[in-house]
Structure 1
Amino acid sequence: MFAKSMLALVIIDMQRWMFRKPERLAQVGGLLPAIGSLASRFTHANLPIYDVVTIHRPDRSTWSGLMLKYDYSCLIEGTADAEPVEGYEAPAAAIRVVKTQNSAFLHTNFEKILHADGVTGLLLTGVFMDGCVALTAADAAQRRFDVACISDGIGHVDAKMRRPMEEWLHQMYEIDQIRAVDAPL
């Protein structure tokens, strides 16, 4: 799958607001070792790392449809909600990509950045399998990137939805789930 790919590590939405509920916060301790070990391996191999974050403007101009419908603000620039979750620090060499929608490709220049960096394969980590990670994975596959999800480096909102999302990604886009230790570099 990745034999001829220029790989990049993508870390999605490791922000405080994403872990505001106890069942989500409980996942952080399991995600950080996988993300950290991959980040270290990518850094040592001098391969690109992208730290993707969701940040909205307080003036509502970047809010999603549901945020507007329910008048619910979150991940507003400059607030604690938008800061990294405790225990996570973006790798020093990581390139920051700011998004306002679930997919890292929607209304961003992420695809252009990846092409400029010569990236053809993505290893995805972060949150959530039943949210931003899955939608980014599907969009990446449709843009002809080789994609794999790092199963032990991805959290979920609803444990019951995780497996169906993984199966959907595999059936629709041939995106596999692999463990961090098995990631090709």
Structure 2
Amino acid sequence: MASGKWRNTALLVIDMQNDFILPGGPMHVGGAQAIVPNVIKAVEVARNRGIPIIWVVREHDPSGRDAELFRRHLYSPGKPKPTSKGSVGAELVDGLVIEEGDYKLVKTRFSAFFNTNLHSYLQSNGITSLVITGVQTPNCIRQTVFDAVAWNYQPVTIIVDATAAATPEIHTSNIFDMKNIGVITAMLEEWCESGH
């Protein structure tokens, strides 16, 4: 466990799965592959600091019956069935590995808090501060961050160059919105050196 300033902090790694990261994946996010080395580095730094790592992943029933209504068509016969449970597409991208002591949280919506046990898990482990990495900024990152702020996690930090969206413009505008609700927006190097 972390001590000192990191004692109440957890790192969330959101949706760093093949179907989102790899070119040609059914849910490919344009800027995702470029951040993989930074997410790997953030995980390494968190491990060195004793910060718990929470791997937030989407896993759907292959039928898509637990997916949002607007996404159900993606699970029609003959379609690739994005992030379906047990598929290669649902696995973490190469270089990211869930280790003993880490926590894997499965979600079926944008927010890591929606219909999951994340809040109770964090509370029961004394976590009051979150650091966020992953994809994608306007959807799963943003929804998770806004819910974290609503649940009074403080501070909430986004590692700007370890998160990504389809385009740099979408990413920047969403980072701007989150900064305006009191979220700390730090570059990876800045977080590694000091850390919020």
The residue aligned with 1:157 is: 166
Moved more, 15-24 or 131-140: 15-24
Post-superposition shift, 1:88?
A: 2.7
In structure 2, relative to structure 1, the CA distance for the partners of 1:129 and 1:65 (3 Å cut) is same
CA distance in 2, matches of 1:52, 1:62: 17
Residues 54 and 4 of structure 1: CA distance in aligned 2, closer, same or farther (over 3 Å): closer
Deviates more, 1:152-161 or 1:19-28: 19-28
Aligned to 1:8: 10
Is the CA contact 1:39–1:91 (under 8 Å) kept in the aligned structure 2? Answer: no
Gaps of 5+ in 2: none
Deviations 1:66-119 (A, max 9, x none): 112665532110111111123332344321000000110011001111111100
> 1:47 maps to what in 2?
51
Deviation at 1:144, TM superposition (A): 0.4
Distance in 2 separating the partners of 1:81 and 1:168: 30
CA distance in 1, matches of 2:59, 2:11: 20
Deviation at 1:160, TM superposition (A): 2.3
Where structure 1 has 5 or more consecutive residues not aligned to the other structure, the ranges are none
Query: How many pairs align?
Result: 181
Contact 2:6 2:51 in 1 (8 A): no
Rounded to whole Å, the distance in 2 between the matches of 1:87 and 1:50 is 16
**Same amino acid, percent of matched pairs:** 22
Equivalent-residue separation in structure 2 for 1:34 and 1:91 (angstroms) = 18
Q: Counterparts in 2 of 1:34-183, with a 5 A limit? A: 34-68=38-72, 71=75, 73-146=81-154, 147-171=156-180, 173-183=181-191
Which among 21, 27, 35 is matched to residue 19 of structure 1?
21
The 1:74–1:169 alpha-carbon spacing in structure 2 relative to 1, beyond 3 Å, is same
Q: CA RMSD in A?
A: 2.3
1:4 Cα deviation from its structure 2 partner:
8.6
Kept in 2, the 8 Å contact 1:8–1:48? The answer is yes
Query: Taking structure 1 as reference, are residues 27 and 13 closer, same or farther at Cα in structure 2, changes over 3 Å only?
Result: closer
1:120-146 deviation digits (Å, cap 9, x = unpaired)? 000100111122111111111111012
- Cα 1:36/1:87, change in 2 over 3 Å: closer
